[in-house]
Amino acid sequence: MTSDMSIVGLLFDASLPVQLVMLLLVIASVMSWSIIFTKRRLVRRTAEASDEFEASFWSGGDLNTLYQNTTRDRGSNVGMSRIFEAGFREFNRAIQQGGINADKVIEECRRAMRVAQMREVDRLEQGLATLATIGSTSPYVGLFGTVWGIMNAFIGLANVQSATLAVVAPPIAEALIATAMGLFAAIPAVIAYNRYADKVVRLEYRYDGFTEEFSSILQRHVRNKQGD
């Protein structure tokens, strides 16, 4: 390999369209890794916070105390604690009004928790669509750069008396780099999308289960208050 056949040399010697394709793929790769690291921290923090909250919730403590602790630390609350906060706030508001049907109270609490759950899931899903787009389009963008580079290589060969490997190799090699860069951008994005999409779905299932279980608990509280 001569200095002209080095990766850096091939990048600088590539035609302008191929260089633009490579630049676009570099930007896509940087965006992809930025989303991956951000999503990793967010999903892990949300799962750990939900585990901690569930342990406190099912420990048998007073719900009012748990609600006060949750609202006091509202800035650091994520995931399940926010769903609990929304449901119990609506429950307290309905109880203070008085004279409301138990089924209506529970329906309002469930609605408030569903809205909070949708916000939490939306927060977790932010960036996943970008990962999916990068993962699905990057190989084709790289392929476009490769096709363009090889096309220019064959056009250049038309003006050469004898086509040797030394003449053909550089333009084809620089064109194939675009395909490699497309795969480099796409593969991590696809893996990360599948991984974190699965984690988000699992957290959403946990939220659904908690919402139903907490609704049953609130329903018993309402009936007990009406009985009193």
Identity of the amino acid at 197: A
| DSSP one-letter code for 196 | H
Average pLDDT, the chain: 84
Residue that wins the pLDDT comparison between 38 and 163: 38
With the CA atoms of 87, 93, 94 and 99 taken in that order, what torsion angle do they form, in degrees rounded to the nearest 10? 170
Residue-level pLDDT at 3:
42
Confidence at 137, pLDDT banded by 50, 70, 90: very high
pLDDT (mean) for 150-170: 68
∠ at Cα 186 (178, 180), nearest 5°? 25
- Do 54 and 80 contact (CB within 8 A), yes or no? yes
- Counted domains in the chain: 1
Residue-level pLDDT at 163:
59
79 is in which domain, residue-wise? 3-227
- What are the C-alpha distances in Å from 13 to residues 24, 50, 189, 199, 210? 17, 53, 28, 44, 59
pLDDT (mean) for 184-197: 94
Task: Give the tens place of pLDDT for each residue, 71-122.
Answer: 876 666 788 999 999 999 988 888 887 666 778 888 889 999 999 999 999 9
Residue 128 has pLDDT above 70, yes or no: yes
Confidence at 194, pLDDT banded by 50, 70, 90: very high
Confidence at 2, pLDDT banded by 50, 70, 90: very low
Confidence at 168, pLDDT banded by 50, 70, 90: low
Whole-model pTM over 0.95: no
